[in-house]
Structure formats: structure tokens, C-alpha cells
Amino acid sequence: MAGQLSPIDKAKYAAARRAIDFVENGMRVGLGTGSTAAWMVRCLGTRVREGGLKITAVATSTRTAELARQVGIDVVELDEAGWLDLTIDGADEFDPELALIKGGGGALLQEKIVATASDRMIVITDIAKEVSVLGRFPLPVEVIPFGWKATRALIEETLAGLDVLGHEVTLRMDGDAPFRTDEGNLILDLALMRIGNPRQVSLVLNQIPGIVENGLFIDICDMVVIGNGDGRVELREAGTGKITHDQVDFAEADNLFRDLDA
């Protein structure tokens, strides 16, 4: 069954499957957004339905909330759950310090709020997202619709004084219309190419009126779980830099893969 999946989906599944081993009974868990996080939600759903796992789950987008409910996970609002034990989410890029770019799926605001309201954040990814310096992936920035062109102009002016290589700012589209976040905001994608000082860029961007939040996640991620298409996973811890290796067995996911095919 797993043979029908692409190597990249297998890698995403492997990372997701290994990461949910950190979820324990009774935990309050943040559920990330994106294709890798979707594997994690499906895997958790299997444990809830078939293994009797009891968790309080908080989703980082309406998409994730819908998927979670479909696979049997009850979802509550963050304010109802209070502080979370663990958030598991994907990322668009990670660097050696486990700083991240997120927001490729447009959910960066809720993702950042949920991750920072958690004791621990685990990022699930494949090796293609590892970079030595952040910036290859355009940095998503969420802005309010009011006066967004003025906000964009201020961003462009600000970027000229920062240690970044590119300065192009693009309004994200969804077909013919601007993409809207769950909060009804817009996303500007900043093609920075190389972000010399992510901490500074993040702080400076968030000073600009109109910007709600940016997709740089610094000192938030505690561990990255990197999946491979052959089931190998690498776990890297922030701070200690400790690295461990493991292997995920695809056979146990046959039901899950079959359900997706159906």
C-alpha cells in the first residue's frame, strides 16, 4: 500500500508517525497546518480511534480542524484548552539553529500563537527543507487589508536597510482574488533569498503598522523530526544539538493508506 505513495509523501508520513510518539494520554496538543501536518493528524486520529488515546486538541486553521474532526479528533479553541503541552507542525524551511520559515499554507498567525502557547514545539519535515541560511523560501507576512499597499511600500523601504539579498514583495493570490487567511487578512510573500539576521528581520517587520505577524519562528521549535522516503527518521534537538536516528515501519499504516485511496 505504501508503495503507491510518492517518496516525498512517505517522508512526510515517516516524520509525522515518529513525532506522534511524543503525544501522551491526557495531553493538550496543537495541530499544525499543511500536507505534513495532515499526515500527523491522520496518524493521531488512528491512535484516538483505535488506541483509545485521549487528548485535547487545538487546530491552527479551519482546514486542520475539519480534517481532525473527520478522523475522530475533537477540537477545542485555544482559550478553552489553555496552555498546551505540545504542538506538532510542519515548516517551509529550517536552519541549523532550528529557526523556521512558516506560512506557506497561509496559517502562520494561528500557528505562531499556538506554538508559543505550548511547552514544546516539534516540527515535522523532510530533508529538502533544510537550509544553511533562511530565505530561499519567500517569507510570508500577514497584513491587514486596510491600506495594504502602504504597508507593502513600508516593507520595501525597510528591507533596503536589512541584511537580506532580495527585496521583492508579492501579494499572494488565490486564483484571481487575493488569498485570505482564516482571519480575513492578506499575505505578502517576501523573496529575500538570504536572511542574514532572522531575529532582526522578524523584530523590524513586526514594528510596521499593518503587519500582523511574520513567518519567522525563532527560538520556538524544540525539535525537528526529518523523515525519509525509506522510513528512516532523524530527530534533532534544539539547544543540545543532540541527534538520534530511528526507523518507521510503513506496514502499520496500510489501513491509513487504504482509507486515503478509497
Out of 45, 104, 135, 198, the residue judged to bind ligand 5RP by CB under 6 A: 104
Q: Give backbone dihedrals phi and psi of 25, rounded to 5 degrees, phi first.
A: -55, 135
Beta carbon of residue 12, minimum distance to ligand 5RP (angstroms, whole number): 6
102 makes contact with ligand 5RP (CB under 6 A)? yes
Helix axes 254-261, 35-51, angle to 10 degrees: 120
- Given a contact cutoff of 8 angstroms between Cβ atoms, the answer to whether 93 and 193 are in contact is no
End-to-end CA distance of the chain: 12
* Minimum CB distance to ligand 5RP smaller for 90 or for 231: 90
45 makes contact with ligand 5RP (CB under 6 A)? no
Which residues is 59 bridged to in the sheet? Answer: 31
Helix axes 35-51, 62-70, angle to 10 degrees: 30
Active site residue 111: yes
170 makes contact with ligand 5RP (CB under 6 A)? no
* Minimum CB distance to ligand 5RP smaller for 45 or for 90: 90
227 makes contact with ligand 5RP (CB under 6 A)? no
Out of 45, 103, 135, 198, the residue judged to bind ligand 5RP by CB under 6 A: 103
Out of 9, 85, 89, 142, the residue judged to bind ligand 5RP by CB under 6 A: 89
C-alpha cell at 64: 486542520
Q: How far apart are CA 29 and CA 85, in angstroms?
A: 6
Binding site for ligand 5RP (CB under 6 A): 32-37, 89-92, 102-108, 111
Active site residues: 111
